[in-house]
Amino acid sequence: MDWNYKGIGNTKVVTETFSDGYKIYYYDEIFIENYYDENRNFILKDRKMWYMNKNELVFYHFRNNRYERILEFVFIDDKFVLRESYECGSDTYSGDVQFFDYGFCFSIKIKGKRKDELIEYTYYLDNY
């Protein structure tokens, strides 16, 4: 869709604890800079939720006034592996998540008739 942006921002994180796992809500506010025309800079507000239990990590994205389950990862051989791709119309979503000492990186790949996108998020701990 001819998007090519980079941004930096802040995230508010809220955690709910349950007997079988955790829900972790991410409220992102990202400043997107348009390098070609500074009058087209904008703020992107995004909401995500992660559900984590013993060996699963499930990613939800806030769309249509609710959190939609998008990707599910399972912990195998000391890393999270995508269980299966997500289909939305003619688009296929896949992803990757990697944890580091200072935070984690999450990427989503979207392929379809009009899309060939890679969206990458890197979240840093406050003390880095």
Please give the DSSP secondary-structure letter assigned to residue 38: G
Domain count, the chain: 1
Spatial contact of 60 and 48, defined as CB atoms under 8 Å apart: yes
Tell me how crowded residue 52 is: count the other CB atoms within 10 A of its CB. Answer: 16
User: Residue 39: what pLDDT?
Assistant: 78
Residue 1 maps to a domain? no
Residue 14 maps to a domain? yes
Pick out the chain residues at pLDDT < 50. Answer: 1
Report the chain's C-alpha Rg in angstroms.
16
State the pTM of this model: 0.86
Instruction: List, as own/partner pairs, every contact residues 54-62 make where C-beta atoms lie below 8 angstroms and the sequence separation is at least 24, other chains included.
Output: 54/21, 56/21, 57/97, 59/95, 59/97, 59/106
12/38 Cα distance (integer angstroms)? 26
User: Residue 6: what pLDDT?
Assistant: 82
Residue 83 maps to a domain? yes
User: Residue 3: what pLDDT?
Assistant: 65
User: Residue 34: what pLDDT?
Assistant: 74
Please give the DSSP secondary-structure letter assigned to residue 113: S
Token pair, residue 84, equals 């299966």
Structural domain of residue 16, as residue ranges?
6-124
User: Residue 71: what pLDDT?
Assistant: 97
Residue 52 maps to a domain? yes
Q: Please give the C-alpha separations between residue 119 and each of 14, 29, 89, 96, 105, in angstroms, as whole numbers.
A: 23, 15, 19, 11, 11
User: Residue 128: what pLDDT?
Assistant: 57
* 127 contacts: CB under 8 Å, gap ≥ 6: none
